[in-house]
Structure 1
């Protein structure tokens, strides 16, 4: 666990973010009745189109588990070969993550999402019409690159276009769409062939690619690259009939902070090691590490394998989990701006820890041949509890915080490192999980539970509360 090593000056600057925003805080919109005035058709459409990239990400994550038996049987793959197919997406994701920040900063948020969609379509088609394992792996790699880019740009774009009063809820739609994609892949995978399942994935990619021509670019990116005349136009489209004076003020605030953080000088990676950037980088990198070390990618890719190992029906288990994820994530979206990031992260991590402990204990009892008949049910309850707990906080909030607290002058290089960290650890976990499960399932889940417990203390000590503040205010407080 990362230890606090900042000086008193750093603590003084960051401490206002380590507490929740109360009802008297002027930064928080307390009038629930005014909430609809911040939501405009263009904002909703823009969020949905961006979210289609997250849907593709979730679909890709959920694809390998229901498709495993069909692909292995038809292609004659061994468990080791299928593990390569399952995990190779994360290698593509790492490549996408490395370039995601530069692509997003150089070409803009919309064009980065276009590139992601363009790469995703041939990836799914390669899997659909694959004749051997090579085409499966090429397709999976392309999909990995695509979602590696989208996993960075989608939350950044949504955070940059949403008003501060509803930014948490709207940025959480990134996770909602990811879980929608995951659930659809899981559910459909139980009733259709793996080839048809991959062909269906082309549709949301096409919807996103077409939709991107009809939504505005991020006003903050426009300000960063000096296209100041377009900033106000983008804001007017996003804010609708809001008072023009408010739009002018928001545009001025965006320009001011962009100038203060010296746009265009993100190329020097050494800036990431400056003291003012150390705090946000440690927070988001730490959360990404703990998110993956908690086992989410392993369970996303190989849920069916876990249920089979426990003696529980894979069809019932996978279908139940896919149905459960939707209401859980909807709850998270509603709670994000009500309870804040820190509270949801700690509750989420604690719930995940307890649920994973139940799974670990269940497998341990099975090894001891004690209460064998209860193992399938206990494992199902534990996995269900983990999915629910993960969905309300640890699933989406690390991405929300990445889009909020990284300063604009290092968002590209810093965001690439953060995203690369997530994908790298995801690859490590997904590649080794099948072997670890065969070796000792109880110890595997005890490890995941321990990492979730670490996440509780990490959040308590380090993670800031950003609810109700503009991105400009957050970056000023963190710098």
Structure 2
């Protein structure tokens, strides 16, 4: 007998749904894979390691690509430029052409990018491959959560929605593990070549993935489209499942019932021989208000720039952008993207082994922390996360500067663990809870934009600032004092500008104001 909580999660879950979940989450998996793929083999790729003794091997194969620290930082960071473009374009594209076509296109970008990276012999080709993979990754972060929310059973959408973040962390752990074994000579290309296999596997498996039934019903509000959508849903839920209640929530469902009623009246009239004098009035459902009432009650959609110019939404915009920047400037990607090179020789463990452990801690903590935002509150999790990460940053800097290696190892693990408690998942939850439905789309766009801009800034300038501080102050580790300072600023910002949304029925209650009348 399964526990009640587990029964609730597994209710309505079929083997076919599990297959769909596995296939579509290969998108976020590849996001994590490509985000961290250059971490372990950095020194080998850039010809700065004794494990890559020759630029051109005896067989004529380029074993490494000479590049400076600034050039490598650029190659790493252009991934986030592609991610920003992919994230902003994916929303309108999948709304118009469907979730399935959008996912198929992302897998094409992943294939093309991985091929370019694997066979690159110059910085330019490697960067082009990174941009292409970034486009696929950015799009996947938008499309896949949307698809999962539309095919998962209603009572467990939150649980399965967490699989997006979990598979990102699985991708990071996977590529760090490959990096440990393959970061020598020209074998680093096998790490990048694995991306080709992943993307090709997803592209082939997407042949067996159906379009989102919710999107079909909303996009084509015809009886044929609704029948097709219902067949898809029935297949996902199982042939014996009752899907009537779920279908009733789809756009156009109520109108469809009225249309069928009208057709029934028309057919009856024709059978009675009085077709020439038919005047049919649609029966009004007691559950639906009159059309005029709907139009008056509906708020106009707020656009991307409308969010900036309207003072009503400005506090939410400031909070969202601040949260997204805090997520990155507290330093998580300094560990995810550069830990092997950064921590080499500073800790009691081999830095590649420690990076694998870090990735595993990140994955496990993310899974264990998933219920916390609902139990403790969003703001509480953010405060715990940023204080814990800031403290870990300070201790990490102190221990590296003064050579306390065991404290360094513990600090870097707690640094990653505290990120997963709040700064990792909560910003994406808050982006949709600080505003009403009329402004959710624009707010999400600003959130993704701020996130990728902040990620780019850290990826591009962190190695340069780290080198400059080390040269100026002597030794290593000073940059983590800077991250600790940013954590202090983030804590102050969260305290004054970020409200608690947990348990609040809408954005008006969150901000303690009366509903806006337009």
TM-score, normalised by the number of residues in structure 2: 0.73
Distance in 2 (alpha carbons) for counterparts of 1:262 and 1:350:
43
Task: Out of 180-189 and 85-94, give the one that drifted further.
Answer: 85-94
Is it true that 1:308 corresponds to 2:282 in the alignment? no
Matched, 1:145 2:139: no
Kept after mapping to 1: 8 A contact 2:433/2:501 = no
**Is residue 377 from structure 1 mapped to residue 406 from structure 2 by the alignment?**
yes
Q: 1:31 deviation in Å?
A: 5.6
Structure 1 window deviating more from structure 2 (221-230 vs 78-87): it is 221-230
Matched, 1:448 2:438: no
Which structure 2 residue ranges, 5 or more long, are not aligned? 48-63, 255-287, 470-475
Asked if 1 retains the 8 angstrom alpha-carbon contact of 2:90 and 2:143, the reply is yes
**Who is 2:192 aligned against?**
198
**RMSD, aligned α-carbons:** 3.7
1-structure distance, mates of 2:140, 2:104: 9
Residue of structure 2 equivalent to 1:3:
none
- The residue number in structure 2 matching 1:250 is 249
User: What residue in structure 1 maps to residue 322 of structure 2?
Assistant: 286
The answer to whether structure 1 residue 92 and structure 2 residue 82 are counterparts is yes
Q: Is the 8 A contact 1:91 1:427 kept in 2?
A: yes
Cα drift, residue 408 of structure 1: 5.8
Q: CA deviation at 1:36?
A: 1.9
Alpha-carbon shift at residue 195 of structure 1 (Å): 0.2
Q: Deviations over 1:343-385 (max 9, x none)?
A: 444433332222122113224xx2xxxxx341x3222221111
Listed as ranges, the gaps of 5+ residues in structure 1 are 1-29, 367-371
* Secondary structure in 2 matching 1:201: helix
Q: CA deviation at 1:60?
A: 0.8
After superposition, residues 154-173 of structure 1 pair within 5 angstroms as 154-173=144-163
C-alpha change, 1:420 and 1:252, in structure 2 (3 Å) is closer
Tell me, what secondary structure is at the counterpart of 1:438?
helix
Secondary structure in structure 2 of the residue aligned to 1:392 = helix
Change in 2 beyond 3 A, CA 1:36/1:233: same
CA contact (8 A) 1:169 1:337 kept: no
C-alpha distance 304-32 of structure 1, shift in aligned 2 (>3 A): closer
Structure 2 counterpart of 1:128, from 105, 114, 118: 118
| Alpha carbons 1:46, 1:215 under 8 Å: kept | yes
1:179 pairs with 2:214: no
How has the CA–CA distance of structure 1 residues 34 and 131 changed in structure 2, closer, same or farther, with 3 Å as cutoff? closer
Alignment correspondent of 1:325: 362
Q: Distance in 1 between matches of 2:101 and 2:253?
A: 21
Relative distance call for 1:342 and 1:166 in structure 2 (3 A) is farther
Secondary structure of the corresponding residue to residue 106 of structure 2 = helix
**Residue of structure 2 in register with 1:419 after alignment:** 448
For residues 372 and 201 of structure 2, the distance between their equivalents in structure 1, rounded to whole angstroms, comes to 29
Shift of 1:266: 6.5
1:201-216 counterparts in 2 under 5 A? 201-216=195-210
Q: How does 1:26-45 map to 2 (within 5 A)?
A: 33-45=7-19
* TM-score normalised by length of structure 1: 0.79
Give the Å deviation of 1:401: 4.4
Q: Distance in 2 between matches of 1:62 and 1:278?
A: 35
The alpha carbon displacement at 1:184 in A equals 0.8
Q: Is the 8 A contact 1:100 1:412 kept in 2?
A: no
Is structure 2 residue 334 aligned with structure 1 residue 298? Answer: yes
Q: Distance in 1 between matches of 2:377 and 2:253?
A: 24
Matched length: 436
Is the contact made by 1:56 and 1:178 (CA closer than 8 Å) also made in structure 2? yes
CA pair 108-336 structure 1, distance change in 2 beyond 3 A: farther
Tell me how far 1:309 sits from its aligned partner.
6.7
Structure 1's 266 and 143: CA in aligned 2 closer, same or farther, altered over 3 A?
farther
Deviation at 1:108, TM superposition (A): 2.3
